[in-house]
Amino acid sequence: MTIVDLETVKLEIDSGVARIVLNRPEALNAWTRQLGEDMLSALNKAGGEPEVRAIVFTGEGRAFSSGADLKAGAGELGTNGKPDVRTRLQTVYHPLIRGVRTVPKPVIAAVNGPAVGVGCSLALAADLIVAAESAYFLLAFVNIGLGLDGGASLTLPARIGHARAFEIAYLGERIAAPQALEWGLINRVVADDELDETVAALAQRLASGPPGSYANIKRTINHRLYAQFEDVLDLEAELQQERAESGDFMEGVLAFMQKRPANFTGS
């Protein structure tokens, strides 16, 4: 077994399977620039290792990922003093999501708990999603005055269609794992204490299969469903920057921190 400990991510390679573990359990695996960079490094290493034939993403502790770490502050600021989310999306988050969709190996999201915001986007970018029964999915961007990012503008409707994609994105409500399965958002739901064993068996089955077949299947499905992925990621970054400079975003973050309903004014 090969184990690589990055600052916020653990990478384990064993028997043809790379297991990438988001490792900020004290923050429910909320995304920071460092987490994004570490996940990208882990994915690049796993994708470049000929011995790796399947890749699994999961979270340490009780969450898959709670999304962007709003408690860590605004992050980089632009010359106008507003949050510069465009740069982080273009240089860290979106390259990771793009890599998940284009690495010529099967990618499984083992969703062990809440998958929120860009954490949910990461799960949606995977080829297969297996969720613990207690897990839920939440595209919470609208709750803080943002649009979708992490490729969810495309991966969400590709999975479940126009009607439910708008419902999930507009309402910003939790989708429990059983409901997500019923809607076709994910592939399997298992008891919490069976998640690791189930995913390990599935990953091993894929790792034992024909890698060329999987690579071609992924390439052709990507061609059919995700031919505009680059354009969508670029548009998401531009529009998310507009929202990050808005008064509604500032109000949404403040309301989140103060644990109260947001008062959006359209500013």
pLDDT for 56-68, tens place per residue?
999 999 999 999 8
Task: Indicate the helix (H) or strand (E) that contains 258.
Answer: helix 247-258
Q: Which residue has the higher pLDDT, 49 or 73?
A: 49
Q: What's the pLDDT at 79?
A: 59
Domains and CATH numbers, the chain: 2-193+210-258 (3.90.226.10)
- pLDDT-above-70 percentage for the chain: 96
Q: What's the pLDDT at 81?
A: 66
Instruction: Quote the pTM value.
Output: 0.94
Helices 94-102/33-48 angle, 10° precision = 20
As a whole number, mean pLDDT of residues 207-236 equals 97
Reported as a pLDDT band with limits 50, 70 and 90, residue 78 is low
Kindly report, residue by residue over 98-153, the tens digit of the pLDDT. Answer: 999 999 999 999 999 999 999 999 999 999 999 999 999 999 999 999 999 999 99
Task: Indicate the helix (H) or strand (E) that contains 217.
Answer: helix 211-225
Whether the predicted pLDDT of 74 surpasses 60: no
Whether the predicted pLDDT of 205 surpasses 80: yes
DSSP letter (8 states) at residue 84: -
Computed over every residue of the chain, the mean pLDDT equals 94
Whether the predicted pLDDT of 87 surpasses 60: yes
Whether the predicted pLDDT of 75 surpasses 60: no
DSSP letter (8 states) at residue 90: I
Closest to 58 (Cα-Cα) out of 98, 17, 104, 101:
17
Whether the predicted pLDDT of 191 surpasses 90: yes
Length of the chain: 267
Contact between 21 and 65 (Cβ < 8 Å): no
